[in-house]
Structure 1
Amino acid sequence: MADKEVPQKKVLSLVLCVAVMLSVMVMGAGAAFSDQDKIENTEAVDACIALNIIGGYEDGSYHPERNIKRSEITK
């Protein structure tokens, strides 16, 4: 019975590795904002976009230099 558990663990670890790799690829794609060059921490912004926490403005920009309004926080 112990012989059957080892291949299952290998398959499970392989599936988990593939899932992690795919999630990193999706997060790395990120959204290209029109002011992408002004963003200092692009990895954090890409992660927040992937988690649907932020989305930018309607004109396709991010405006990292602006203060966040109360109405924007309640998104």
Structure 2
Amino acid sequence: QFLALLLYRWEVIMRETAILGILGIGTLGFYIDSAFEEFRFDRAMLLIGCAAFLNMGVDGLAHWLRKRLHLNTTPETL
């Protein structure tokens, strides 16, 4: 269960990097926001695509790891 929680948090952290970057923290979202400020829409779209593929890759990898390790992702009830 702890490993399933770690994988979940890893997915959430990867998704939050784009949001925090828009707030000014030096992550992928920061570079996307900077590209929009410089009217470099081609660079911004490329970075947005990279962020989307990164999130899909992390989600797929975490799903594969949960399946491979036979982790239960739903809480057990008594």
Fold match by TM threshold 0.5 = no
Question: What TM-score range do you get, normalising by the shorter chain?
Answer: 0.3 to 0.5
Which structure is higher in RCO with an 8 Å CA cutoff and minimum separation 6? 2
TM-score by length of 2: 0.37
